[in-house]
Amino acid sequence: MKRLAIIPARGGSKRIPKKNIREFCGQPMITHVLDAASESGLFDLIHVSTESDAIRSVVEQFGFPIDFMRPIDLADDHTPIMPILKYVLEEYRNRGVRFERVALLMACAPMITPNDLCGAAALFDAHHGKKAVLGVAEYPCPVEWAFRRGSSGELVPMQPGMFSVRSQDLATAYYDAGQFCFMPSERVLAAVGAGSDEGFLGYPLKGHQAIDIDTLEDWRFAELIFQSIRQDAQRK
């Protein structure tokens, strides 16, 4: 069963300029997930989907040639991920190359390890590739305790009365960690718009692996965590 890894890497990041190729702990951000994908040994092909010549140059310098570029109309601020994956699969099919399974790997996921990818792939295979496997993390506190904050600062409970329920009496809730997803190719090709949020299996990740790097503060925090993990590994 041929397996393709797709790493979307748009060049138009605004909150952190050149986010995907900005240096993160000594090397361009995107190359951390490229290394993890390569070292996992899972994939017949790793494709970086980008419209940016600068990203293409960095990726290819690190030994990952890009067979074709992403169209500009799929590289704006509002295009969901699924149409990008579909374009890649269809373009390869037009070139006579078919993949039965596809893994979406996010470019800014430096904490993901080859073992994580292999574990998620094993879960995917255990269900015969019929269900997508999503990397998830636990919410840090019960979702039943959530509030919305009004314009004047008042807090409105999302589920009134649940604040009195003990956390140990509530089921653990998970969220999409924004790191990776394994899917059957046919699910991607059949998707309409952004696709569906149903039919997933969850592969739990550790909390530090789910850092959403959207601001420079996030970036600096992620670097501290990454460096700490690297130092711990070197001591062992």
Let me know if residue 146 belongs to a domain.
no
Q: What is the pLDDT tens value at each position of the chain, 236 positions in all?
A: 699 999 999 998 888 999 999 999 999 999 999 999 999 999 999 999 999 999 999 999 999 999 999 999 999 988 999 999 999 999 999 999 999 999 999 999 999 999 999 999 999 999 999 999 999 999 999 999 999 999 999 999 999 999 999 999 999 999 999 999 999 999 999 999 999 999 999 999 999 999 999 999 999 999 999 999 988 888 87
Residue 223, phi then psi, degrees to nearest 5? -65, -40
Let me know if residue 153 belongs to a domain.
no
- For the chain, give the longest Cα–Cα distance: 59
* Domain count of the fold of the chain: 1
* pTM tops 0.85, yes or no: yes
**Contact indicator for 135, 203 with CB cutoff of 8 Å:** yes
Residue 184 structural domain: 3-136+175-235
Distances (CA, A) of 24 to 27, 40, 53, 114, 125: 5, 21, 20, 18, 33
Let me know if residue 161 belongs to a domain.
no
Let me know if residue 165 belongs to a domain.
no
Q: How far apart are CA 216 and CA 131, in angstroms?
A: 35
CATH classification of the domain holding 130: 3.90.550.10
Let me know if residue 124 belongs to a domain.
yes
Let me know if residue 156 belongs to a domain.
no
